[in-house]
Structure 1
Amino acid sequence: MSAVHLDIDGVIAHLRLDNPSKLNALTIDMLAQLEQACAILERSPQISAVILSGDGDRAFCAGADIKAWGALSPTDFARNWVREGHRIFDRFARLSIPTIAAIHAPAIGGGLELAACADIRVMAPMATLALPEAQVGIVPGWGGTNRLLRLLPEPTVKEMALFGRKLTADKAWSLGFVAEIAEDTLATAMHIAVQAATASPRAHEVAKYQIHAAVGEDRAALIEALGGGMIGATRDRAEGVASFKDKRKPEFPGS
């Protein structure tokens, strides 16, 4: 049974974590479902924005389900849990579509790392953010010690990861990690998504590529993607493809 749902309504997509009895804690199956959702989103050019949320009142996402990784060997934990989860989170972060995380309740550990993958975040006034991995003898593994450091000051990340301190909505907003504080995070996220839908999807895509390349998010691939987009629009490229199909020497117009 799926615990990650992708609902598409026109140009807006809604990605929901649906495991409220376990505070939306992520399992191996949920990670796989998240990747499947990313694959669909990447192949849906009509979508202008994606909203990420968690079902239930108690948590946006409580991180990784300890029952999913607690019994793994050190090798399997590192290779099949940490690296695989990191790869899937990267895939969500690198979607070409603008993404908005609606954090209505605590985002803990992997839940905070997932929210950090979104382009912007909306947070409820009483929600909190935390990196409590050290309390169970592990360390952040899905971006808490790298991607999060591009979004929050080093001392703040250390406060959470080393001293177990929680980050409030007001503090997260003051640091720029949260775009808006709202009682109804879904409604606010939807308002932002609708606004995004009025702009050029391709301009959004290229702007996101440029920003990510500048901050080091998949820089090499993005530079090549931008180059591919530039050359793909040329008459030279059209001539190259046509000449290959016709089995003749190309005559490039240089434009």
Structure 2
Amino acid sequence: MKFNNILLEADNSIATIIINRPKKLNALNKETIEELHKAIKAAEVDKAIKVLIITGSGDKAFVAGADISEFADFSVEEGTQLAANGQTILFDFIENLSKPVIAAVNGFALGGGLELAMACHFRLASDNAKMGLPEVSLGVIPGYGGTQRLPQLIGKGRAMEMIMTAGMIDANKALSYGLVNYVTTQEELLPLCEKIAHKICNNSPVAISSAIDAVNANFKSGVNGYDVEVEGFGKCFGTADFTEGTTAFLEKRKANFTGE
């Protein structure tokens, strides 16, 4: 699969997707969003891939925002459609993916870049990372899920402040807010992501997929997360992974999960 704006690398059950627009600080344009969707979808159906990592090329930016030049003259209808399409094919798509997605935030993550990171299941940051939602300084609001996911992750008050001031926070503040799980150096960022990914790979893909569904259910309007958990828990009993996991435990050996 050939791409113009991203690089896709796969090794040891881990797919790493690198947004590769360094001259634009990896800004998201329509083509990049579509390419990310295709790459992530391909990784999801590839049984050899168990975890995805998303990062940006270079050492300055994860994603410095959306490519404003593409939509500066949009109408109300076009703006609405832009947000709806982006959320459907990328941001919501990542959040509900059956495989874990880790964001390796290696620099600026602003606007759509922070929204992309927040759509991932969790985030690690390099110590030079800066994060923010500066959209109101352009006369618009976050449109790729930022007003919803940021309060979920850091609380309403802090999210309101970040959105309304259009300010940036550094990696350590993001860590204290719970926006990222770890802060490390640029050099150690991907190795740490891979270390965590390998730990995930040791576990049942079926159970992990079900856990993603159950956790996400708590944040969906009109959905009872406890009911989703109970149903998912029960379904696990009918899987080969459950049989293998429990048998391996009783036999005091390492489980060999097949994802079935």
Do these two structures clear the TM 0.5 threshold for a shared fold by scoring above it? yes
Indicate the residue corresponding to 1:242 in structure 2: none
Q: 1:40-79: CA deviations, max 9, x gaps?
A: 1221232221111000222110111011111222211211
Check the 8 A contact 1:212/1:219 in 2, yes or no: no
Say whether 1:211 aligns with 2:215.
Answer: yes
Q: Distance in 2 between matches of 1:178 and 1:166?
A: 14
CA drift at 1:232: 11
Match among 235, 238, 241 for residue 230 of structure 1: 235
Shift in CA distance, 22/48, structure 1 to aligned 2, threshold 3 Å: same
Which amino acid in 2 is paired with 1:86? Q
Check the 8 A contact 2:207/2:236 in 1, yes or no: no
Indicate the residue corresponding to 2:27 in structure 1: 25
Superposition misfits of 4+ residues, deviation over 4 angstroms: 217-220, 231-234
Q: Tell me, which stretches of 5 or more residues in structure 1 are unaligned?
A: 235-255
Shift in CA distance, 214/110, structure 1 to aligned 2, threshold 3 Å: same
CA drift at 1:8: 1.8
Match among 205, 228, 231 for residue 201 of structure 1: 205
Which amino acid in 2 is paired with 1:82? A
Indicate the residue corresponding to 2:177 in structure 1: 175
Indicate the residue corresponding to 2:144 in structure 1: 142
Check the 8 A contact 1:102/1:123 in 2, yes or no: yes
Indicate the residue corresponding to 2:7 in structure 1: 5
User: Under a length normalisation based on structure 2, what TM-score does the superposition of the two structures give?
Assistant: 0.81
Shift in CA distance, 97/111, structure 1 to aligned 2, threshold 3 Å: same
Q: Distance in 1 between matches of 2:48 and 2:222?
A: 24
Match among 105, 108, 133 for residue 106 of structure 1: 108
Indicate the residue corresponding to 2:153 in structure 1: 151
Which amino acid in 1 is paired with 2:204? S
Q: Distance in 2 between matches of 1:117 and 1:216?
A: 14
Larger Rg: 1
Q: Tell me, which stretches of 5 or more residues in structure 2 are unaligned?
A: 240-260
Identity of aligned residues (%): 33
Find the residue that maps to 2:46 and give its secondary structure. coil
Which amino acid in 1 is paired with 2:209? E
Shift in CA distance, 108/57, structure 1 to aligned 2, threshold 3 Å: same
Q: Distance in 1 between matches of 2:194 and 2:40?
A: 19
Match among 22, 37, 47 for residue 45 of structure 1: 47
CA drift at 1:217: 8.3
